[in-house]
Structure 1
Amino acid sequence: MPISFLKILPCTWLLLEEVGVLGPHQMHPMIWGKRRDIGLHKFIETLFYHPLFKSIMISTVTLNAIFLALETDYKVRKESNFFLEVTDLIILAVYTTEFLMSVYLDPVKYWQDGYKRFDFIVLLIAYLPHTIDRNNPETHQTATLLKGFQALRVLKLIYYSPGMRILMAALRQTVKNVIYVLVLLFLLMLIFAILGHGLYGDPTYGDYKNWGTLAAAFFTLFSLVTVDGWTDLQDELDDLHFVSSRTFTIVFILLGFFVFFNMFIAVVIMDIQVTEDMINGFISFLLKAERRANLIAKKQIILKRQQEEVNELLAQQKTTEYQTFDEMVEEFKKTLLHTDPVILEDFCCSLPFIDLYLLSLDRQDATIYKYVC
């Protein structure tokens, strides 16, 4: 088997699991091998992918976000400190249970998923505040900082929302094009920063605060490219009687905001649309393949049932109560007349037809003989 095929096969299998064609985490023996604890694994798998468990996780993340928002109020945090600590421990226990179940079901796939690794890091950070004495003034600042990172746990909603997952997949696809746009915007800002510093950065007669250094010029251009307070910056240049300042500002805003900034948005929207169309097309193709597989499975079931019925009839023919197939054919032939139609594949060329024809001739001769006698 080629090496490239060995690399593609597990990815294809995981993709089919992701879109739902295969059952969740159905481990293929060729790839992952068989588990020994099949019963326990099946029970946890059923529990983990049950809609009720998904609803519990979404509710837990929502409550976590609400409690984190309440903790920002000093009065609430002081009066309900014990309640908030208990709820935080309960929520942390739910997250830990979900992590252990996910790792148990498929540890290889868990660590291959970038989002799951990020989720593990967030869970690890959630435990760090409980290892620090928050009453100690020396570690209070560190504990407060780690407590602020607990807001990252709200990102678990992305895993349970198909729409958000499609959006995140599209954003990963747009990173390359977005980087190109940002590099071009940086080059444009570098050119205008050097130009603005040369035109308006004179310490004596110019606007040294906004254009005196390259860093200040970059910050000023960032305000212009976001069209945030650009009129105040332009008024300061007008007060210093710089004739070319308005042309400089208008040209940069046209290039930086109306071209590059909107180009950035257009690239993201286009890549999201392309990614969504590709995913929908692939899902429709897999659904058609699944329907064909179900149709073939139904045909196999019908054929199997027919085979079982034939086997049952053959078994019944061996008993004394039932006649053999040849005996039934013989009795059937005796009921035929020479005028009865017979459908054959090859007219007058098969043994059954010749047999029936000769029998019909014998009966015709017997009838003529009775009339003559």
Structure 2
Amino acid sequence: MFIFALIGYYLFGYETNGDETNWGNLGRSLLTLFTYMTVDGWLPIQKELTAHGFVGSEIFTVIFIFLGHYIFTNLFVGVLIANIHLTTTKFKAQKMTEKRALIQSKKKAVIDKQHKDVMEMLKKQRENNYMTLNEMTKEFEKSLRHDDFTYTTDLCTTVTWIETMLASLKHLENSKHKCHQIQFEIAEVLAEMKGT
């Protein structure tokens, strides 16, 4: 922009019949170029140059408007967007850190509550306050809530445990089926013995 201001000053403001209002010194040239760059009120400035008889000033104006408005302004907007993106990324990271800290504190509170409940039940069990296992189970049921958390790090929620559980259930079903088959065979043998 400084180079264009110098060129504009020497082309349009330096001569005796030049446009001293807009191009008379380097400061005015920079201000005029800023007007070109914002594309706000550039037409009266160009008409004044044409009125002073500067042939080819339109080419200078069009080139600078193209460079200034489209390139410099887009670079400026790009820098602003990059800064906004950086700030947004930092803000999101800070919020995520706060969210993780809140989740950790909630987890700790739940684990502490569950630990406290288990310790109280064990203490009561040691003091023989429970007569039977059913009473202990009912007391434990009272301490459970529908919104208690189950953590996926527990043994019963791992994939290996679930696969083992499913394999055990399948084995149990096969054993049950074999027992039924044996019972049917025994019933058939007894029926044949009774018939003879």
TM-score range (shorter-chain normalised) is 0.5 to 0.7
- Pair 278,311 (structure 1): closer, same or farther in 2 beyond 3 Å: same
Deviation at 1:316, TM superposition (A): 3.9
In structure 1, runs of 5+ residues without a counterpart are: 1-187, 323-373
Cα distance in 2, alignment partners of residues 315 and 202 from structure 1: 105
Matched, 1:239 2:67: no
Cα distance in 2, alignment partners of residues 302 and 245 from structure 1: 83
Structure 1 counterpart SS, 2:127:
helix
Deviation at 1:298, TM superposition (A): 1.0
Cα distance in 2, alignment partners of residues 219 and 200 from structure 1: 14
In structure 2, runs of 5+ residues without a counterpart are: 132-196
Partner of 2:86: 274
Partner of 1:308: 120
Deviations 1:45-101 (A, max 9, x none): xxxxxxxxxxxxxxxxxxxxxxxxxxxxxxxxxxxxxxxxxxxxxxxxxxxxxxxxx
Which aligned pairs between 1:281-296 and structure 2 lie closer than 5 A? 281-296=93-108
Which aligned pairs between 1:171-190 and structure 2 lie closer than 5 A? 188=1, 190=2
Deviation at 1:288, TM superposition (A): 3.3
Deviations 1:98-136 (A, max 9, x none): xxxxxxxxxxxxxxxxxxxxxxxxxxxxxxxxxxxxxxx
Output the amino acid matched with 2:53: H
Cα distance in 1, alignment partners of residues 83 and 20 from structure 2: 42
Matched, 1:260 2:54: no
Deviation at 1:293, TM superposition (A): 3.4
Partner of 1:198: 10
Deviation at 1:289, TM superposition (A): 4.1
Partner of 1:20: none
Partner of 2:23: 211
Which aligned pairs between 1:109-188 and structure 2 lie closer than 5 A? 188=1
Deviation at 1:273, TM superposition (A): 2.5
Give percent identity, aligned residues only: 34
Structure 2 counterpart SS, 1:243:
coil
- Structure of higher CA gyration radius: 2
Structure 2 counterpart SS, 1:205:
coil
Output the amino acid matched with 2:71: V
Structure 1 counterpart SS, 2:64:
helix
> Scaled by the length of structure 1, what TM-score is found?
0.32
Deviations 1:200-231 (A, max 9, x none): 11352221222122222122112111112111
Cα distance in 1, alignment partners of residues 28 and 95 from structure 2: 51
Partner of 1:141: none
Cα distance in 2, alignment partners of residues 295 and 202 from structure 1: 76
Partner of 2:63: 251
Partner of 1:178: none
Partner of 2:110: 298
Output the amino acid matched with 2:76: F
